[in-house]
Amino acid sequence: MTERSPLAPAAFPALPDIGGVTLRIARAQYKKWDRCDLTYVELAPGTAVAGVTTQSLCPSPEVEWCRDALPLGQARALVVNAGNSNAFTGHRGRAAVEAIAARVARHLDCVPSDVFISSTGVIGVPLPIDKAEAGLDAAFAAPPCSWEDAAATIMTTDTFAKAAVTQAVVDGRTVSLVGIIKGSGMIAPDMATMLGYIFTDAAVDAPFLQSLLASANRSSFSCITVDSDTSTSDTVLAFATGAAGNAPLASFEDAGADAFAAALADLCRQLAHLVVRDGEGASKFITITVDGATSDTSAHRIALSIANSPLVKTAIAGEDANWGRIVMAVGKAGEPADRDRLSIRFGGTEVARCGLAVDGYDEAPVAAHLKGRDIAIDVNLGLGDGRATVWTCDLTHGYISINADYRS
């Protein structure tokens, strides 16, 4: 495994059990790894589900399966494998998904549409049905495992297992939300990101959970990028078991709905940040904030233009305060901008404004800021009230090394 990211948290967080959720792992041996590669989650009857999936026009059959099942709003199981994305595999890939759903449905005595499926790994290799079925049988017989085991099992090029937790008071009861996620490269979500799974013991009606997840996604997963590439398999699913016993949340008029929505948004933001902190080869976590745009949408596009620029990202990797590259990225975004109103800050130090370098600009504090792990870039366009924040990482030779050898 690649050396642990220098931006990784010190330790895996302490996570509570979620009533109605049972985790198991197994080895399907999709790839020559000496570790488990299949996570199987059993969910209590009555569990509500919501999800967002990739906007890629070449989605995997797993993504299509989830899209078809999500409107039904209920789930009994989740199956996630690493080592093979099963994307771009034609009818054989779809057959593998159907076989997985059928086997789990027989095991749980439920309908196949209650089974949600994700795969991650190499594109273009059909998922072997025999390995999938053998892996599932092993998972059915396996003892329950920890959150950390489940999170580690879905990793590919990730260097650390990723998880987060939040809580909220709903209907006088404390409910918990736990999320696990994988992702390190091919990260520029146009909806959600990578593979992420959220579990809560709160009772939430599926349509309301869907609206809350979509809203949380817009300010979290859709605001991160590692390399400007959107995966064929990106999926985020949220499962609400209702084990906490609260009156089901169906709208913002219900007691605790605001608190639950805030907790979900916070959890999604935590998970999104973890993905960036494990960006392939990353050594810097970069926050880019754009103010003064003509709209929030315009600000978002400009921020992503900066975040996805190889020239910006390599400058940060080299700890070079080259603010001219920020100007370049703003100008190429295709959004309203005025050179003579633009201002730029690195770590709170203004370096340029009104089309010029700041008089008496001292690069020393900026250079000191760029030597740190957490970098802040602020841009003000001076045109309106639009604002957006996105998160990215720097671009180092480590990214090339990881992806040049990915299939070996």
- % of the chain at pLDDT higher than 90: 84
Q: Please check whether residue 146 lies inside any domain of the structure.
A: yes
Q: What is the pLDDT of residue 397?
A: 83
- Express each pLDDT in 65-123 by its tens digit: 999 999 999 999 999 999 999 999 999 999 999 999 999 999 999 999 999 999 998 88
Report which DSSP code applies to 358.
Answer: P
Residues 158 and 271 in one domain: yes
| CATH code for position 379 | 3.10.20.340
Q: Say which of 47, 153, 193, 241 is annotated catalytic.
A: 193
**Domain boundary, last residue among 216, 251, 277:** 277
Q: Please check whether residue 194 lies inside any domain of the structure.
A: yes
Per the structure block, which two tokens stand in for 101?
A: 């759903």
Residues 128 and 225 in one domain: yes
Residues 308 and 232 in one domain: no
Residues 206 and 122 in one domain: yes
**Beta-carbon count within 10 A of 311 CB:** 14
Q: Please check whether residue 217 lies inside any domain of the structure.
A: yes
Q: Please check whether residue 16 lies inside any domain of the structure.
A: no
| CATH code for position 158 | 3.60.70.12
Residues 163 and 255 in one domain: yes
Residue 243: pLDDT band (50, 70, 90) is: very high
- Express each pLDDT in 351-392 by its tens digit: 999 989 999 888 899 999 999 999 999 999 999 999 999 999
Residues 189 and 296 in one domain: no
Q: Please check whether residue 296 lies inside any domain of the structure.
A: yes
For helices 296-307 and 310-317, what crossing angle results, to 10°? 60
What is the rounded distance in angstroms from the CA atom of residue 326 to the CA atom of residue 44? 50
Half-sphere exposure of 76 (CA within 13 A, CB side): 16
| Helix, strand, coil share (%) of the chain residues, nearest 5 | 35, 25, 40
Q: What is the pLDDT of residue 76?
A: 98
Binding residues: 156, 182, 193, 280, 403, 408
Which residue stretches of 338-406 are H helix? Answer: 364-370, 397-404
Residues 183 and 271 in one domain: yes
Assess whether 193 carries a catalytic annotation. Answer: yes
Q: Radius of gyration over alpha carbons of the chain, in Å?
A: 22
For helices 310-317 and 324-331, what crossing angle results, to 10°? 160
Residues 139 and 213 in one domain: yes
Whether the per-residue pLDDT at 190 is higher than 90: the answer is: no
CA distances from 316 to 66, 234, 240, 313, 320 (A): 38, 27, 41, 5, 6
Would you say 238 and 208 are in contact if contact means Cβ atoms under 8 Å apart? no
Residues 271 and 299 in one domain: no
Q: What is the pLDDT of residue 56?
A: 84
CA distances from 365 to 321, 324, 348, 357, 361 (A): 10, 17, 9, 15, 10
pTM value? 0.94
Q: Please check whether residue 11 lies inside any domain of the structure.
A: no
Q: Please check whether residue 2 lies inside any domain of the structure.
A: no
Number of domains the chain is built from: 2
Residues 290 and 251 in one domain: no
Q: Please check whether residue 345 lies inside any domain of the structure.
A: yes
Full domain range(s) for residue 50: 21-277
Residues 59 and 172 in one domain: yes
Residues 154 and 193 in one domain: yes
**Domain boundary, last residue among 277, 306, 334:** 277
Residue 396: pLDDT band (50, 70, 90) is: confident
**Domain boundary, last residue among 229, 259, 277:** 277
